[in-house]
């Protein structure tokens, strides 16, 4: 078959760099569209435009070996027949790398299942050969040692691409060296980001490894796909692929997304074997379809894998252009490696960085001709800037960054330089040093107050561990909890009382919360160490949160009071704190009433979850009343009318209630004539007199409300009762129905001539009585006509006032007095106490005469 390639080359510092290639499609026989019977189930191939990609590729490309470092591969699968090259079983070198899990077979089929063989599915790269390397156990688990061996084996035995649908949460110098080994020998590494919805796993997180996340059918990052500054791109999350045992199955995850990128890379490399791994990475990112936020973002990277674009678009010398000003600054991950170009000394390249935390970004910028570079750094889009200069002897710049976005602008130091200059820019983020450093050793432990609190820290440097010390003055209980925001941290908690053995808590794994049981502490110094798991000593991009929950042991000031004869005496109206130390602990109290009183017993500040019972007894220990909290923290309140005497209270709980002190309060309001609000009142005797004669009665509230205004209806009732009026006749007031509660009393007082309606015919029963009306009503009971000689006895009552005659007579006869300032305030509202006082005097004198 005839293939015609026309190349355009540019020579740079890394050798020959291919910038543009085109294919003469008219004379090229492309790979045919797949007619495999199960191709219809491979909808993910449509998402990445695989048919168009095959059309661009041609079918006589160079074979490319793709190593699958995994659980092995089904070596007899009919759809992988002829697609395998010898591999290795690193777990048992005497055996073949046969898949005993199925995961590796899933990965291999996505890449290289035979096309158009009237069987199953179609792999992405018809030119790919699979090198099966078994490095994982049958349950899919494995360690970095076998993973590293697998990568090195693949590199040393001719693989051009290594796909790693697996990952570890920790950074490893050993693995970083293995990744560098592959890069230096021209081998491309492609790895899955992970499926936990957290930080990208290693090796996907290393800058020279293509880190691949997963995309849903809705063209969004799957919520379970790991994300962050290490993510490069995404591919479909759901696939249909080869299965162990010769069959096929649906699978999902970033493990299935990564081999799609590896297959696409193999397809491209077969067509353009001269590309370097970094060029392949750049082109894959360059041709990705942007998703979600414009440009790179933490959840989809540079976008969705597009095989059609990958196979036909030229590799650009600078895929970020145009980025010559701040308004066109593309997103640059804080942990990545890019290749770009200064078109001349006047070209400025702007980038935006979005830092996940406060910290530092280390920039390593190298130019192809060793030209020095100026880097300007802008925080928060402010004009204030910092300027740094790099050169071959010192290509590193460290920028202090805050969480959020900042910008950099890079340009050649010599603005007059002509011609293009290629450069690489590598970024590496280092999290901030927490506020408690330097506390990496026990003798440097940071002192914390002896109380409940929350502490946030970081592991910002190698072998970082954080020591704290709390000096407890009181015994109590303590619980420690350490949570993390990334699976790259596997927290370990150590606690030790000074002079005693330490205890370590490491029950759970990476990304999980470690919590101690509830521990008893006694006075003394306690040391706490928070560290990452022992074999993970590298700096981590993430934070931990230490929660200290300390409850001092509460001392009950009332003990011993477990028996009635030990009962603590309550001072009325004062709070009495206490503690119920166990289910068998009984707290007894006593109080004495000198006279009949309305008593309110209140038990507050209760511990939620405890069923606390509150029981009242008389002096013979006869139970009078009881209430239970039933696990609630609501106050228990008991209101009782009690005669004078001695009383007991017993408190008990179904369990210890030692986390907070309860508050017991006994309040007593002495009852006078059955009322709790007249004791000591100036009208006490008058009100008590009326109550004793049943002129007034309580309403169940034990209150008379002496200082409230008295209504005309209330006054009528008191008059009728006070003067024992028993004759009545129907009355006809528009605003008074026969069903009104005071109708009968109003009818009696009206017939007696004591009260009457207003000129408009209304009685207004619920209207307050004025002081003048009150005086007039009482005068009516004695049929007083009033006196008109002499001067007004009150400063605020003129001789023209309508009631001045009655006031003169009542004052002259000594029935009424004014206020100390000489006023009577006749139009003010009369109070219930004022009316009761007048009525008591008049009804005792005149009522009895009648």
Distance CA 171, CA 173 (A): 7
pLDDT number for residue 379:
81
CA 225 to chain centre: 21
Q: How confident is the model at residue 381 (pLDDT cuts 50, 70, 90)?
A: low
| Tokens 């688990």 sit on residue | 141
User: What is the pLDDT averaged over residues 380-391?
Assistant: 74
The whole-number pLDDT of residue 27 equals 39
φ, ψ (nearest 5 deg) of residue 86: -55, 140
Are 355 and 326 a contacting pair, CB within 8 Å?
no
Q: Enumerate residues 6+ apart whose C-beta is below 8 A from 141.
A: none
- What is residue 847's predicted lDDT score, i.e. its pLDDT? 56
Residue 26 predicted with pLDDT over 70: no
Which of 663, 664, 666, 691 is closest to 677 using CA atoms? Answer: 691
- Going by their DSSP bridges, the two strands 238-242 and 248-252 should be labelled as antiparallel
Q: How many Å from the N-terminal Cα to the C-terminal Cα in the chain?
A: 139
**Strands 385-390 and 453-457, sheet pairing:** unpaired
Distance from C-alpha of 792 to C-alpha of 809, rounded to nearest angstrom? 10
- Rounded Cα distance, 438 and 670, in Å: 66
Structural domains of the chain sorted by starting position, each given as residue range(s) with its CATH number in brackets: 40-312 (3.40.50.200), 326-431 (2.60.120.380), 442-456+463-550 (2.60.120.380), 564-670 (2.60.120.380), 684-849 (no CATH)
Residue 57 scores a pLDDT above 90: no
pLDDT > 70 fraction of the chain, expressed in percent and rounded: 95
Which residue, among 259, 206, 251, 265, has the nearest Cα to 235 in the 3D structure? 259
Q: Would you state the structure tokens that stand for residue 772, as one six-digit string?
A: 């003048």
pLDDT at 845 over 90: no
Confidence of residue 17 (pLDDT cuts 50, 70, 90): very low
Q: Which residues contact 802 (CB under 8 A, 6 or more apart)?
A: none
Sequence-ordered list of residues with C-beta below 8 angstroms from that of 620, at least 6 positions apart, any chain = none
Q: What is the pLDDT of residue 382?
A: 63
What the block records as the tokens of 321 is 């252009």
Q: 56-65, 504-513, 616-625 — which is least confidently predicted?
A: 56-65
Measured between alpha carbons, how far is residue 378 from residues 16, 33, 365, 404, 407 in Å? 35, 51, 18, 12, 5
Q: What is the per-residue pLDDT across 633-680, written as a single tens digit (0 to 9) for each?
A: 999 999 999 999 999 999 999 999 988 899 999 999 999 999 999 999
On the question of pLDDT at 190 being above 80, the answer is yes
Could you tell me the two tokens for 73? Answer: 């591969």
- CA–CA gap between residue 86 and residue 95 (Å, rounded): 12
- 599 vs 552, residue with greater confidence: 599
Residue 273 CB partners (closer than 8 Å, separation 6+) = 62, 64
825 pLDDT exceeds 90?
A: yes
**What was the pLDDT predicted at 728?**
85
CB 427 within 8 A of CB 350: no
Cα–Cα dist 316/747, whole Å: 107
- Average pLDDT estimate for 354-368: 93
pLDDT tops 80 at residue 319: yes
The whole-model pTM stands at 0.68
Reference 517, options 535, 540, 534, 493; nearest CA is 493
Asked whether the predicted pLDDT for residue 8 surpasses 50, the reply is: no
> Residue 22: is its pLDDT beyond 70?
no
**Burial class for 708, CB neighbours closer than 10 Å (0-12, 13-18, 19+):** middle
pLDDT at 783 over 50: yes
Q: What is the pLDDT of residues 437-478, one digit of tens each?
A: 999 999 999 999 999 999 999 999 999 999 999 999 989 899
pLDDT at 590: 97
Predicted local distance difference test score (pLDDT) of residue 13: 32
- Could you give the percent of the chain with pLDDT greater than 90? 82
Ramachandran area for residue 634 (φ above 0: left; ψ -120 to 50: alpha; else beta): beta
Q: Write out pLDDT tens, residues 248-263.
A: 999 999 999 999 999 9
| Helix, strand and coil percent figures for the chain, each rounded to 5 | 20, 30, 50
Q: Which two tokens stand for residue 672?
A: 């006078």
Cis? peptide before 560, omega within 30° of 0 = yes
Pick from 176, 160, 177: which is nearest to 168 by CA? 176
Q: Which residues have a Cβ under 8 Å from the Cβ of 11 and sit 6 or more positions away?
A: 17
pLDDT for res 59 = 66
Average pLDDT of 700-712?
A: 92
Does pLDDT of 384 surpass 80?
no
pLDDT at 20 over 80: no
Residue of 418, 409, 243, 266 lying closest to 329 (CA atoms): 409
The answer to whether 464 touches 503, Cβ cutoff 8 Å, is: no
Question: Which tokens hold the place of 107?
Answer: 């990965």
Burial class (CB in 10 A: 0-12, 13-18, 19+), 520: exposed
* Count of beta carbons in the 10 Å neighbourhood of residue 432: 18
- Establish whether the linkage from the previous residue to 498 is cis, with ω within 30° of 0: no
pLDDT winner (highest mean) among 13-17, 534-538, 843-847: 534-538
User: What is the reported pLDDT for 609?
Assistant: 93
pLDDT tens for each residue of 225-234: 999 999 999 9
Q: How confident is the model over 93-116, as a mean pLDDT?
A: 96
Asked if 373 contacts 390 with a C-beta cutoff of 8 angstroms, the reply is yes
Cα separation values, 688 from 332, 373, 671, 718, Å: 88, 100, 10, 13
Structure tokens at 587: 């707290």
Q: Which two tokens stand for residue 79?
A: 């759809």
DSSP, residue by residue, 355-382? ESSSEEEEEEEEETT---EEEEEEETT-
What residue has token string 């349950």? 139
pLDDT of 31 reads 63
Q: Residues with catalytic annotation?
A: 70, 103, 255
């Amino acid at each position: 078959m005839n293939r015609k390639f026309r190349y355009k080359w540019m020579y740079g510092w890394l050798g020959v760099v291919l910038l543009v290639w085109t294919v003469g499609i008219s004379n090229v026989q492309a790979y045919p569209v797949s007619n495999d019977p199960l191709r219809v189930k491979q909808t993910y191939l449509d998402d990445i435009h695989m048919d168009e990609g095959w059309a661009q590729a041609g079918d006589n490309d160079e074979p490319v070996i793709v190593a699958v470092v995994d659980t092995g591969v089904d070596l007899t699968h009919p759809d992988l027949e002829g697609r395998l090259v010898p591999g290795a079983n690193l777990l048992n070198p005497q055996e073949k790398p046969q898949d005993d899990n199925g995961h590796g077979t899933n990965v291999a089929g996505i890449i290289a299942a035979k096309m158009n063989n009237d069987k199953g599915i179609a792999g992405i790269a018809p030119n790919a050969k699979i090198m099966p390397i078994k490095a994982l156990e049958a349950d899919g688990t494995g360690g970095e040692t076998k993973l590293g061996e697998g990568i090195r084996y693949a590199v040393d035995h001719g693989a051009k691409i290594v796909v790693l649908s697996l990952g570890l949460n920790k950074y490893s110098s050993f693995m970083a060296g293995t990744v560098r080994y592959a890069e230096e020998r021209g081998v491309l590494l492609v790895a899955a980001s992970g499926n936990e919805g957290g930080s990208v796993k290693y090796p996907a997180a290393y800058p020279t490894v293509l880190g691949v996340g997963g995309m849903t059918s809705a063209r969004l990052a799957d919520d379970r796909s790991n994300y962050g500054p290490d993510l490069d791109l995404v591919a479909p999350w759901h696939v249909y692929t080869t299965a162990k045992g010769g069959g096929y199955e649906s699978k999902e995850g970033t493990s299935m997304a990564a081999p799609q990128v590896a297959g696409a890379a193999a397809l491209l490399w077969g067509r353009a074997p001269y590309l370097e791994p970094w060029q392949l990475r750049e082109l894959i990112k360059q041709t990705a379809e942007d998703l979600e936020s414009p440009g790179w973002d933490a959840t989809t990277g540079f976008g969705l894998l597009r095989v059609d674009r990958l196979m036909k678009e030229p590799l650009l010398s600078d895929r970020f252009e145009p980025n010559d000003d701040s308004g066109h600054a593309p997103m640059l991950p804080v942990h990545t490696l890019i290749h770009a170009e200064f078109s001349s000394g006047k070209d400025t390249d702007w980038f935006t960085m979005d830092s996940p935390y406060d910290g530092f970004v280390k920039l390593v910028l190298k130019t192809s001709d060793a030209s020095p570079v100026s880097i300007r750094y802008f925080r928060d889009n402010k004009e204030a800037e910092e300027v740094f200069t790099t050169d071959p002897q010192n290509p590193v710049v460290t920028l202090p960054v805050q969480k959020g976005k900042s910008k950099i602008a890079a340009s050649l130091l010599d603005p007059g330089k002509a011609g293009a200059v290629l450069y690489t820019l590598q970024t590496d983020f280092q999290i901030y040093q927490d506020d408690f450093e330097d506390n990496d050793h026990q003798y440097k432990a940071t002192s914390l107050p002896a109380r409940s609190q929350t502490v946030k820290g970081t592991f910002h440097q190698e072998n970082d561990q954080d020591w704290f010390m709390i000096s407890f003055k009181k015994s109590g209980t303590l619980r420690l909890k350490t949570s993390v925001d990334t699976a790259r941290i596997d927290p370990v908690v150590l606690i030790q009382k000074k002079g005693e053995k330490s205890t370590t808590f490491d029950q759970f794994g990476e990304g999980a919360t470690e919590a101690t049981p509830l521990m008893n502490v006694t006075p003394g110094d306690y040391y706490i160490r928070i560290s990452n798991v022992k074999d993970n000593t590298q700096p981590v991009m993430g934070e931990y949160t230490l929660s200290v929950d300390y409850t001092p042991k509460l001392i009950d000031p009332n003990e011993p009071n477990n028996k009635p004869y030990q009962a603590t005496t309550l001072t009325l109206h004062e709070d009495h704190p206490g503690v119920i130390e166990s289910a068998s602990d009984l707290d007894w109290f006593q109080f004495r009433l000198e006279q009949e009183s309305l008593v309110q017993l209140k038990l507050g500040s209760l511990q939620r979850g405890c069923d606390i019972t509150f029981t009242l007894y008389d002096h013979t220990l006869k139970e009078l009343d009881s209430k239970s909290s039933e696990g609630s923290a609501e106050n228990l309140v008991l209101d009782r009318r009690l005669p004078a005497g001695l009383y007991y209270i017993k408190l008990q709980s179904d369990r210890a209630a030692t986390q907070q002190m309860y508050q017991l309060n006994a309040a007593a309001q002495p009852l006078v004539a059955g009322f709790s609000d007249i004791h000591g009142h100036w009208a006490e005797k008058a009100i008590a007199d009326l109550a004793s004669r049943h002129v007034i009665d309580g309403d169940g509230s034990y209150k008379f409300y002496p200082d409230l205004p008295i209504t005309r209806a209330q006054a009528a009732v008191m008059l009728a009762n006070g003067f024992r009026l028993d004759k009545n006749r129907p009355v006809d007031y528009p605003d008074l129905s026969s069903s009104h509660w005071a109708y009968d009393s109003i009818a009696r007082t009206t017939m007696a001539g004591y009260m009457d309606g207003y000129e408009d015919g209304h009685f207004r029963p619920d209207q307050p009585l004025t002081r003048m009306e009150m005086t007039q009503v009482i005068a009516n009971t004695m049929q007083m006509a009033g006196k008109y000689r002499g001067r007004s006895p009150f400063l605020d009552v003129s001789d023209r006032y309508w009631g001045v005659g009655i006031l003169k007579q009542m004052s002259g006869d000594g029935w009424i007095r004014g206020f100390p300032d000489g006023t009577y305030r006749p139009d003010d509202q009369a109070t219930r106490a004022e009316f009761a006082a007048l009525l008591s005097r008049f009804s005792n004198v005149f009522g009895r005469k009648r």
